[in-house]
Structure 1
């Protein structure tokens, strides 16, 4: 017969043949085999469902099934939690990759915009340089402030003239012969030394147009524009 063990609700099966053989052996006076002794010891150590009162057998079976259901539910919860954690990890990796790509694209756009802006500035500087190089003025023995300013308006872009004028007003009060004996600075923009302006023309000492051309070239090259130079001047009182 089959005997059901309550421990773990496991089934410990012993066939009827084996059981009957053991009984017959004892009845005939033969010595039980070692395996028979082990079987009997194990059977004696195991609490069988048949040994439990009939009224409690259903409770024992229900309790065992409940334990199995709880174990299965726990395993299912653990699997679901692991699956959720793995999904969250994968999603986080995707989000990080998307953010990185967006940041790289934004940086590239900023770089391209900066390049375009610099190219535009370069073209503007080249245009100004072309205007200055082709502009000619009949030399005079002397120039009034109004005449010097009129020359500057022809050479300096309209949107930069006020900044240029602010610097010249502070540096030389529009006196193209202004000289600083202590430093050697000279002219409208107080080039230091004044001989630097020779790159714009040999008449740099007496021709305000030559001084204006050199001053514009200096401001564009170092500060990007006269307004850039004026911003620096306001912060430092020199440029």
Structure 2
């Protein structure tokens, strides 16, 4: 794409380049006539390259009628030289950035600055260059600088697009990973809840809670196992026509909401409420079990 657009730019610039080339030739003719009139022993004036031109002689050079002063030609060439070097530096920096990114920016991964480098070498030559030829070289360097700048901007756009695509892909990947992790966590929680809601899981939860919260040991646990086996067979979904609900057979079941909003689906929440009820009403599970055996309720 860069090569195609660059070729189009070159074609469209051809006419203007030929017009620009006419300027120094006009100056050359006028200057030659003037210089010949001054002395027959002096040929076409020469001056050092842009970097080595004598400023004093350039400033005092006569402004030819209808032509650009020689000093202005030198100044314009110096400015063009600076812009050209800046364009190459920017292109090289971007090329390095593209390489370091490892991104797919398309077929063109660098900016071709070889033609502009040749133009710079000619403008920056330490040998003596005819001052009127400097204008021609500067025009060519200016055109090539514009090409390099345009190519750099196009490659920068391709890199930015690739970076945006990579960012979107990374965001999508992270979102997918987070969703998968969330789903896995939910599955684990569901599996843990299902295991805790089995009779064996409920008994394990009861043993842990009564020990950590009330300091009751295995003797009290044994009484609790017998009590709630009689009441619900340790089934968290147990329901009595009287309205008694869950493992501890709370009447009504909504009382267990004081232990947690999930009282209808969590054996552990039902157990927490049941142990608190036993502690408040009977002191220990064994006392509650004795009362149940004597009265058939607790």
Please indicate the TM-score interval, normalised by the length of the shorter structure: 0.3 to 0.5
TM-score normalised per structure 2: 0.33
Highest relative contact order (Cα 8 Å, sep 6+), 1 or 2? Answer: 2
TM-score normalised per structure 1: 0.41
Larger Rg: 1
